[in-house]
Amino acid sequence: MALATCPASCGEIIQGWILGGEKLVSCPVNWYSAVEISSGTPLPQERPLVRAMVDQLLAFWHLPPALSREIRIDCHSTIPVAKGMASSTADIAATAVATARHLGHALDEATLATLCVALEPTDSTVFRALTLFDHHAGTTRIACEAPPAVDILLLESPLTLRTADYHRMARERALQDNASTLDRAWQKLQLACQQKSAALLGEAATLSAIASQTVLPKPGFTALLDIVMRCDLYGITVAHSGSVVGLLLDTRRHDVEQISGWVKEKTEAEQWPVQHLLRMVEGGVTER
């Protein structure tokens, strides 16, 4: 038996047209998918992509395809699905690492990312460092220095959007129109990590979030920006291909209860009915 975990993401710190194409830097948070791989009969109700990852690994290592019928996948995750929290990436990445261990193999981050991208657009939560990543082809991987500590009040919307549906949207023109903004956001993010500045990280995320409004607008966004300013928060991050929003803060200096109250007062009740207090964490898949 082998167990591995991978974190969720509160949307992306930045996402858009960067260095000549669409790329992202995910925002890993302390909410995990845990996958256990063992010998046994496959469960009747499996998430299709986790089985696809097992089958892909067998082909990658030139093992008999029939071996898949002897591998059981137990996926334990409460990460909201289809809301931009990298739930699918967490599932398949944890599955890959747990399966590798079960079969006596190892996966480095580059190989893991390539395997995940072969199945679907992949969040950069598969990397331990904050990483600028080409989530479609996996050809760009630029790691940042360790980021500053940041807490996040995650606002969960009832709205859902499948990643595949987002990527079918006509969005390239809007992304390219915001390329200069995203270049500034990327430069700010790198500087934020170098200087361990939560304020600069928040500025980078906010620039990207504002640009994202031209592609996938979030309801009540102007009111949330006002709360960021009124409460002197670090900034705002959004799921560029989903519905969640995160308010970036420090629980030692910001009154989370007051901020939560402002969100309830200044936005429609049905827009953000659920809130979660999380923190940004190191990414990557961990064997347990």
First to last CA, the chain: 10
Task: Return the pLDDT at 171.
Answer: 79
CA distance 86 to 157: 15
pLDDT tens for 122-166 read 999 999 999 999 999 999 999 999 999 999 999 999 999 877 677
**pLDDT exceeds cutoff 90 at 174:** no
- Averaged pLDDT of the chain: 95
Task: Return the pLDDT at 152.
Answer: 98
Of the candidates 154, 127, 161, 155, which has an alpha carbon nearest to the alpha carbon of residue 141?
127
Task: Return the pLDDT at 95.
Answer: 98
Of the candidates 196, 85, 191, which has an alpha carbon nearest to the alpha carbon of residue 149?
196
**pLDDT exceeds cutoff 70 at 180:** yes
pLDDT tens for 43-74 read 998 988 999 999 999 999 999 999 999 999 99
> Which domains does the chain show, CATH number per domain?
2-287 (3.30.230.120)
- When comparing pLDDT for 175 and 233, which is higher? 233
Task: Return the pLDDT at 167.
Answer: 67
Q: Tell me whether strands 245-249 and 131-133 are parallel, antiparallel or unpaired.
A: unpaired
Task: Return the pLDDT at 161.
Answer: 80
CA distance 35 to 75: 4
The owner of tokens 């747990």 is 98
CA distance 249 to 267: 19
pLDDT tens for 9-32 read 999 999 999 999 999 999 999 999
Asked if residues 127 and 109 have their Cβ atoms less than 8 Å apart, the reply is yes
CA distance 195 to 203: 14
CA distance 198 to 250: 9
In the chain, what percentage of residues exceed pLDDT 70? 99
Judged on CB neighbours under 10 Å (0-12, 13-18, 19+), 250 is middle
CA distance 54 to 99: 7
Give 17-52 as a DSSP string. EETTEEEEEEEEEEEEEEEEEEESPPPSS--HHHHH
